[in-house]
Amino acid sequence: MTKTKHFLDLNKFSTQELRTILSYGSKLKSGEISGRPLEGKSLAMIFEKPSTRTRVSFEVGISQLGGSAVLLDPSSSQMGHGESIADTARVLSRFVDAIMIRTTSEEILHELSQYATVPVINGLTDESHPCQLMADVMTYEEHRGSIAGKTVTWCGDGNNVATSWIHAATRFGFELKLATPPELAPSQVALDWAKSEGGNISVTHSIDEGARGSDCIVADTWVSMGDKDAANRHNLLKPYQVDERVMGLAKDDALFMHCLPAHREEEVVSAVIDGPQSVVFDEAENRLHAQKGILYWCMSNL
């Protein structure tokens, strides 16, 4: 029996596997892989948190590949009324060819993948956002060539997206500097994993130290979905705002990236996110192309 091809986290893949999946995305984007390779296939999409990009890019992506999507909103499905994750996984596996889930905890994602007999894709949890990083690496490389050996600086909360940057840096071979307040440090589990795999990751509390000489400055919201202490986070994160001065510390050709949604004049000033170094809308578009690569990898009989 072949192993079910889940897409749960970047650290579960080898560099070569991630490069293969990314190349499918690029080839689907360029037309080198064409046609409707997922004709007749169905994708269930479960959203326990809000979404614009993830929802639209998966729905449009599967349809461009010849398949279709079914949306499950926990409040209007039995998931939100007591049916277990295990039973939901077993039932959905009888109807669809893959399941994408955006959920709170890694435990729910892993339980779903344990009981599903079709591929499960992580569309964001409180702990990680691997699909985003596939799009981000694709975007960086379209603009500047291979990301291997470059330096990327994360500014702000050591959150779910930061963890996926740690995984990506380790697998794609770039240096990652995380400039975070001590109170909102990145996941120690992710840092320990990166260390054990030889990743070049450092944590600083100084945004200047982090940004100096960097090839890419990255920001994310100060208050992620589900975070409750907004006022405290604003206080802690104010010194980590990306403005023109911070961009000026990076290399002249540094890019600015942000997974969106953005909050102008909070984590980033308008002059930067709307400025010439920003590639945030290419990043958003590449959610579609990178995820088509993921869908193609896990749903076609490769």
Residue numbers of the site for ligand CP (CB under 6 A)?
Answer: 51-54, 124, 132, 259-260
Q: Are 141 and 28 in contact (CB under 8 A)?
A: no
Query: Which pair of tokens denotes residue 93?
Result: 């596996």
Query: Which pair of tokens denotes residue 143?
Result: 């603009």
Is 81 annotated in the active site? no
Collect all residues with Cβ–Cβ distance below 8 Å to 159 and sequence separation of at least 6: 184, 220, 224
Distance CA 5, CA 294 (A): 10
- List 6, 287, 289, 298, catalytic entry: 287
159 binds ligand NVA (CB under 6 A): yes
Q: Which does 71 bind (CB under 5 to 8 A by kind): ligand NVA, ligand CP, none?
A: none
Consult the annotation and say whether 94 binds a ligand.
Answer: no
- Closer to ligand NVA at the Cβ: 213 or 261? 261
CB of 168 to ligand NVA, least distance (A): 15
State the residue for tokens 């450092």.
202
Among 60, 71, 91, 225, binds ligand NVA (CB under 6 A): 225
Q: Which does 105 bind (CB under 5 to 8 A by kind): ligand CP, ligand NVA, none?
A: none
Among 11, 151, 160, 291, binds ligand NVA (CB under 6 A): 160
- Closer to ligand CP at the Cβ: 96 or 134? 134
Is 234 annotated in the active site? no
Is 259 annotated in the active site? yes
Q: Are 254 and 217 in contact (CB under 8 A)?
A: yes
Give CA separation, 172 vs 87, 176, 283, 291, in Å.
Answer: 36, 11, 17, 18
Q: Which one, of 34, 36, 102, 33, lies nearest residue 65 by Cα?
A: 36
Taking CB atoms, the residue at the shortest distance from ligand CP is 54
Is 129 annotated in the active site? yes
161 binds ligand NVA (CB under 6 A): yes
Distance CA 43, CA 123 (A): 13
Q: Which amino acid is at 186?
A: P
CB of 87 to ligand NVA, least distance (A): 27
Give 240's DSSP letter.
G
Phi/psi of residue 31, each to 5°? 95, 0
Give 52's DSSP letter.
S
- List 129, 167, 233, 289, catalytic entry: 129
20 binds ligand NVA (CB under 6 A): no
What string marks each residue from 256 to 275 as x (binds ligand NVA by CB under 6 A) or -? ---x----------------
- Closer to ligand NVA at the Cβ: 92 or 161? 161
Q: Are 259 and 136 in contact (CB under 8 A)?
A: yes
**Rg, the chain, Cα only:** 19
- List 259, 277, 291, 298, catalytic entry: 259
Q: Are 88 and 109 in contact (CB under 8 A)?
A: no
Consult the annotation and say whether 225 binds a ligand.
Answer: yes
State the residue for tokens 């997206």.
161
Consult the annotation and say whether 287 binds a ligand.
Answer: yes
Residues at the binding site are: 51-54, 78, 102, 129-132, 160, 220, 224-225, 259-260, 287
Name the residues annotated as catalytic.
Answer: 102, 129, 132, 220, 259, 287
Site of interaction with ligand NVA (CB under 6 A): 159-161, 220-221, 224-225, 259
Residues at the binding site for carbamoyl phosphate are: 51-54, 78, 102, 129-132, 259-260, 287
